[in-house]
Every structure is written in structure tokens, then in C-alpha cells.
Chain A
Amino acid sequence: MSENHYGSIMKDGLWDSNVVFSQLLAMCPTMAVTTSGTNGLGMGLATTAVLVVSNILVSMIRHTVSSQVRIPVFVVLIATLVTVVDMAMNAWLHDLYKVLGLFIALIVVNCAILGRAEAFAVKSGVVASAVDGLAMGLGFTGALTVIGLIREFLGAGTLFAQASNLLGPSFAFLEMKLPGYGGALLMILPPGGFAILGFLLAGKRVMERRMDEKAAARAELAAA
């Protein structure tokens, strides 16, 4: 396995097959949790932790589990990991846990996790699976944080409100507030989430088209 291989896995997870922006998986946590940047970041990191470990474990047992029973086995594995994360967050990040509460437990049915187990980890080595889990998780975290920040900014006029709950008091400098802005409540509500996601998807497609055009022009130039 070459360096290049891991690079393409990383690029896949972060951009090309981004869980939210390309695969449109995990819409339930995406819409429900991204009411603020901090919530999105916390949810994304929790999911990333589960995703990395579940990918590693699934990859390790891929030869011993027969394909007929693989789904229940994977679900039990993922459920165990989610329970661990759930309890850990309850213990150490209690304030954030109170906000995300239900959705942490629901990571277990997050289609992105079972999806990666099925689509990647059962067919790949342990290290590649770990890299894939990390890339997909970070891509998911980035998407949730971006959507959360935009919705938070438009809806409440703040950025990273209560970030110190998640990252510790030393990150309090991240918290910003736009003075004198009442906020558009709709952006915090689900329709705002869908609208923002729609605009981001459109933006990503425009960017990809531009990049393709540039690449094609460069290839033409090289050929000439």
C-alpha cells in the first residue's frame, strides 16, 4: 500500500465522498444538531471516534464473521462503542451532553457508520480502515461544523457559543457575538437547516465544476 493510497482515502472522506455533502447520509443528526457550531463540532468528534474504532474492529474480524450474520454483529459492535462514547461524554463533557443527549445515543443508527463498515472496512486492511474512518469522520465533523456555524451566525448572531464547554476554558476566545443582531429564528429551525444545506451543496457542485474545467484546460495545455 503506497502513500498515495492513503492520500486518496483521505481526500475521498474529506471532499469527494463527504458523508454529508456527497453521500447525503446521516441527515438526521445533520439537521437536528447543527443549530450551533459547537454542537456540530461535538457531534462530529463523537461520531469520528465511533467511526474510527468501529472501522478498525470490523476490519479485524472481517475474515471470521460470515456474511450471513455480519449485519447483527456490526450493529452490536457499533452499539457497544456508542454506549462507551455516550457514557464518557456524560462523565466528562456533561454540559455538551445535555445539549446533544439523545443524538449521541442515535449515532448507533447513523447510516454513515454502518455504511463505512459495509462499503470499506469489510473489504480492506486494518490500517486503511482506520484511515478511512478518520477521513470520513473528519469530513463529517467539518460539514457539521460549517453548517452549524452558518446557522448559528444567521440565527443567533454568535459564533462558537459555549465552545469552552466542549474544548475547555482556554478556547473561550473562539466565542463571538454580533452586537445588536436579533437573529433570524428560522435559521435555527429545521427549514433553515435544509436551506443552508441546499445552498452548500449547490456551492460544492459549482466548485467541483470549476475545478474540473481547470483540470481539463490544464490537460489540454499539457497535450498541446
Chain B
Amino acid sequence: MSTQSLATQPIASPHAHGGNSVTRTMFRVQLALAPATLYGFWLFGWPSFFLWLLTILSCLGFEALSLKLMGSARIKVTLWDGSALLTGWLLAMTLPPWAPWWVAIIGGFIAIVIGKQVFGGVGQNVFNPAMVARVALLVSFPVPLTQWVAPLPVTSLAAPDFIHGLQIFLGNQATPDAMASASLLGYTKTELSRGIDLLHSLGGDHGALFSWAGTRAGSFGESASLLILAGGFYLLATGIITWHTPLAVLAGLAIPAAIGHAVDPTHYLSVSTHLLSGAAMLGAFFIATDYVTSPNTGAGQIVFGLGIGLLTWIIRTWGGYPEGMAFAVLLMNALTPVIDRFVKPRILGRDRKGKPLDIPESKGA
């Protein structure tokens, strides 16, 4: 063994490299997202595919541009690690399926340049880039960002074909009024503000079954709770994420929802509606679990997740926007350093306060 290779070999402890890398982790997350994405294409047709493609391309493009401006020598390597691709993918999943092209471009710019690269690139960002872009787009362009369409499977007759889909995407054709629809959370919020309580506003077509299967109006990739859940379990099984964050997010959302619904079912949505609507599933498994912007310890992740769930419920129930997952994630991202400061793992051989443990004399000595 030459001295050069010795220098790179760990010598003290028996270290072994698991063969994991950023690229592999990102690839697995993308694999987990694929079923819900493909199903989304089927539900919402060609416009959603163009939106997905352009959002990812825009993220990759702005990533390359930022790296070039910063004079990075690792442009290709960084682009292929898949982190920008995943950001674009997640952002596209949270957008309305028929959003116009410029939403994808501006979203990519905000996510990559403002959300990620100004902080220093992969692993340096304080806030989840996809959620930064989602919130910025929602605040900036409330109208196109809240125009939902009723699902229209590609195979059905009325679905737009390739060319028509492209026209919708490029904004040459207005969305037909007949296809405009409200998301469940938006609908109940509007009806409540008109003084119609939930028992009357929730008809048969908003049942939980539709939410599981995703055949209802909503963001492109958030509809099919079942497929997202399946992807989430795949991530859990491969060890990409641990159970702490997703469970805590869902619990943080479900517990106040259960209490509220038990107290007054006419004003507070049921637990299943909360868990299956909007970005709850996607947020719990794919967004809140982002390594960079969530706490490092299991206990910290539980605090983090409970906070996201609770804030989401509060914003959904009393806030101005019908959905609050993105806001909740950003708010808890800001608290992550504080959580990491207070919830520290115990150092080996020391107690929680950092004092050396009282090790009794071993028998042999």
C-alpha cells in the first residue's frame, strides 16, 4: 500500500463506507415519487407533464447558471447529484396541474437562486427550496396558483391532447370554466366564510375514498394519498428517512384535528380530511424529512414534526390561506437551529449535560 492511499484510508476505527451518496439518496427519493407523479400525469393530462418537465429543467438551468457565476469547477458533478432535480420535482408536485409555463420558470429561479444557492448550495440552505418557491409563488400570483382543475384522465375524451395541452401550458388558451374546480380545503373555507357549516357543504363527492385515490381537484402530485404513502414507506424501508418526522407531522395535525372535530364537527374538519387533503402526506414524508433543513436528532425531529403538524392545522383552520403546509414547514425550518441546540444527542461516555460518566472500576483492572 502506497503512502498516498494510506492518507485517504481511515486508520483509527474500523470505518466502512456504506456506498451511499447524495446521488443515490436523491435517486431513491425520486423513485419513491414516481408512482404518484405518473398517476398525476394520467389524472391531469399533458399540461401537467409539461409543467413537471419545465419546472425541473428550470431548476437545473438556474443551478448551472449559479454555479457558473460563482466560478465553480464542479458544475457537472453538482448538477448530476440530483438535488436540483429533486427540488424541481417536489415543487412541480405542489403546483396546480395546469399552471402556465412562467410559473415553472419563476418557481425554479426562486427555489434554486434565492432558496438555495445564495446560502451556498447543497446542504447550506436554511429553508426548504421547493417550499420557498411554493410560498413565494402563492403570495405573488394568487390567481394562477389557486386555479385547480377537476381530474380528467388522459384516456377520457374531453382530455386535452398533446397540442392542446401545450397551448394550455403556454397560456394561449384559457382553462375552460367547466373544468375549473376548488380544492377541498379551499372549498370548505369559502363555504364556512359564507356561513354554511361543514355538515352542509361537504357532499358525497368529497368523501375520503376520493382523497385516497386522488380523483379530486388539487395540486398535481398531492392528490393520491395512497401512492404518496407507498412512496413514503419505500423511503422508510430503505432507510432514507426515519419514522420520527413523518409520524410527528401527521400526529401534530391529527391530534388537534380530532379534538376540534369532537368539539364542533360543523366548524372543524375531521381527522381523515385533514390527513388526506392538501400537502399533508407529501409534506410529512417528502418535504419535512429534507436532511438539510430538519433537526439532526430523532427527538429533535419529533419536536420539529409536531410543530409542522400543529401549525398546518392552525393555518388551515383560522388562517387566510386554505392550506398551510408550506408555511408551516418554512416556519419550523427557521426553528431548526434552535431545536438542534436544545435537543443534542448524548456524547459517548458522557451524560446529557456533557459531564463524564461515573464509570465503575471494571473487574479486570
Contacts and interface: CB of A to CB of B under 8 A. Distances in A.
B118 A186 contact: no
Interface residues of B, number: 9
Contacts of B106: 184
Interface in B83-114: 106, 114
Nearest to A183: B140
B195 interface: no
A182 B143 contact: yes
A184 B105 CA distance: 14
A195 interface: yes
Contacts of B18: none
Interface residues of A, number: 9
A185 B142 CA distance: 9
Contacts of B141: 182, 184-185
Interface string A195-216: 1001000000000000000000
A185 B140 contact: yes
B75 interface: no
Contacts of B136: 186, 191
B139 A189 contact: yes
A198 B139 contact: no
Nearest to B118: A198
Q: Chain A binding site: helix, strand, loop or mixed by DSSP?
A: helix
A195 B139 contact: no
Nearest to A189: B139
A52 interface: no
Interface string B136-152: 10011111000000000
Interface string A158-189: 00000000000000000000000010111101
Contacts of A185: 139-142
B333 to A, nearest CB: 15
Nearest to B138: A186
B204 to A, nearest CB: 36
A195 B118 CA distance: 10
A93 to B, nearest CB: 31
Contacts of A191: 136
Contacts of B143: 182
Interface in B115-144: 118, 136, 139-143
Nearest to A154: B140
A187 B109 CA distance: 14
A191 B143 CA distance: 20
17 contacts: A182-B141, A182-B143, A184-B106, A184-B140, A184-B141, A185-B139, A185-B140, A185-B141, A185-B142, A186-B136, A186-B139, A186-B140, A187-B140, A189-B139, A191-B136, A195-B114, A198-B118
Q: Which 4 A-B pairs have the closest CB atoms?
A: A184-B140, A186-B140, A186-B139, A185-B140
Given A182-B141, A185-B139, A187-B140, 12 more contacts: A182-B143, A184-B106, A184-B140, A184-B141, A185-B140, A185-B141, A186-B136, A186-B139, A186-B140, A189-B139, A191-B136, A198-B118
